[in-house]
Amino acid sequence: MIDLKFLRENADVVRQSQLTRGANPDLVDELIAADEARRIAIKAADELKSEQNAFGKKIGQATPEERPALLQGSNELKAKVKAAEEARKAAEATVTDLQMQIDNVVEGAPAGGEDDFVVLEHVGEPSSFDFEPKDHLDLGLSLGLIDMDRGAKVGGARFYYLTGDGAFLQLGMLTLAAQKAKAAGFTLMIPPVLVRPEVMSGTGFLGAHSDEIYYLERDDLYLVGTSEVALAGYHQDEIIDLSQGPVKYAGWSSCFRREAGSYGKDTRGILRVHQFDKLEMFVYCKPEDAAAQHQALLDMERDMLKAVEVPYRIIDVAGGDLGSSAARKFDTEAWIPTQQTYRELTSTSNCTTFQARRLRTRYRDENGKAQVAATLNGTLATTRWLVAILENNQQADGSVIVPEALRPFVGKDVLEPIK
């Protein structure tokens, strides 16, 4: 949710942010007008309340002869106060509705849409082979790691089983990520995967892409697409202590996405599925520390990607491709040999005060005054990483070399085809 004080003082900045996102800049002027109307309504209601209080004292001091006429006037004033209060509530509701429609203010992201990202860095060389490489699903089948057919039989399209060494490969990757997060000062969490509507809305996920989310109507609960949601809600309506520095959590959970609108896209294998596991970093910090924390999360992702030995690039995501809560987002994309392109593995977003303002999460500054916190998130490992690990580490005989950092968890140096 946008800060109204910032909006009043920086309307042009917010308009430009809306244009950068490809969103409606007219909402800015609508909100400014609604905010002015709200303040007028508040003033009118307060003045009538003061008048009512003064009138009450006058009645108390009146003679028996004067009181009937004064009581009649009191009833008329009471009706005016009630009407003014209703007008105030309506004006405040209009402001809140418009606030919820305006996305976070972009900070430094390039303008444009999905294809207008800026490549910041390449790490490693794209893998090349002197044989015809197999894609991750063919490898997964021949190595006994992935079973898509039975996944579809049990759950439908885009469901799967990770079997045998495939399960250990994922567990090892996530455990390694959890260990790295702990060493960096993150508290490991296994959060709920079902959340209330106000938490899902507070994190900004019930906007344009709400059709991607599974909703349990009978229970009025949402299945999370990332543990970011539950971790953001963890300190809802709280004042947290940031005097010793940022508060950092790492959430390990299953995640669920309907993949609405992706019909025909990435239907083969486990690149785009309805259920997956993820280790998500989440940070609460002071707003002035958010940019530095964003770089720290990106460095954590760099370290983890180095450990699993895949070539990748880092991109600065364009404004039109940002989620509503992100002011800036960096994606890491791994090279996928059989597709001859880079595909997203992780993202890290600086959400500034947008989510915390919606969820009323604050901290006390050096003067003891409550201020809105900033929040950030970043993926440290997830199921789709197996796609890049398998394809980039395959050998001519159909085997796959296990990245050294994962060998203690898998118990093997090489995954051999099942005979």
- Which residues contribute to the annotated binding site for L-serine? 226-228, 257, 280, 377, 379
Please report, in range form, the residues annotated as the binding site for ATP: 257-259, 273-276, 344-347
Supply 253's token pair.
């959970």
Residue 61 backbone phi and psi in degrees, to 5: -95, -5
3-class state of residue 249 by DSSP: strand
Closest CA to 319 of 62, 29, 13, 87: 13
Coil, helix or strand for 416? Answer: coil
CA distance readout (Å), 233 to 147, 195, 357: 35, 9, 12
Q: Is 180 helix (H, G, I), strand (E, B) or coil?
A: helix
Q: Where are the beta strands (DSSP E) in 201-240?
A: 215-216, 221-223, 239-240
Give the Cα separation of 349 and 377 in Å (integer). 5
312 touches 337 (CB < 8 A): no
Reading the block at residue 24, the tokens are 């409606």
Question: At 132, phi and psi to the nearest 5?
Answer: -80, 110
Place of tokens 């969820």: 359
Q: Which two tokens stand for residue 335?
A: 């090279």
Residues belonging to the active site: 257, 272, 344, 347, 384
Residue 204 DSSP label: T
Per DSSP, the three-state class of 362 is strand
What does R_g of the chain's alpha carbons equal in angstroms? 27
DSSP result, 66-105: THHHHHHHHHHHHHHHHHHHHHHHHHHHHHHHHHHHSPPP
Distances (CA, A) of 95 to 22, 156, 337: 22, 43, 50
Q: Which residues neighbour 365 within 8 Å (Cβ) at sequence distance 6 or greater?
A: 286, 371
Torsion of CA 134, 138, 141, 146, to 10 degrees: 100
Q: What DSSP character marks residue 78?
A: H
| E strand spans, 257-406 | 275-285, 312-316, 328-336, 341-350, 362-364, 370-372, 374-382, 400-401
Distance CA 5, CA 7 (A): 5
